[in-house]
Amino acid sequence: MTHIPAHRATSVDASGAGDTFDGAFAGRLVEGVSPAEAARYAADAAALTATGHGAVRPIPGRAGVLSRLNRPNRADDGLSRGKAHA
Would you say the pTM of this structure is higher than 0.85?
no
pLDDT value at residue 5: 80
HSE-CB for 59 with a 13 A CA cutoff:
14
Per-position pLDDT tens, the chain of length 86:
888 887 788 899 999 999 999 999 999 999 999 999 999 999 999 999 999 998 898 899 998 898 888 776 655 433 333 443 33
Rounded-to-integer distance, Cα 43 and Cα 47, Å: 6
First to last CA, the chain: 6
pLDDT value at residue 57: 86
What does DSSP assign to residue 82? T
pLDDT value at residue 82: 40
Q: Which residue type, as a one-letter code, is found at position 75?
A: A
pLDDT value at residue 76: 46
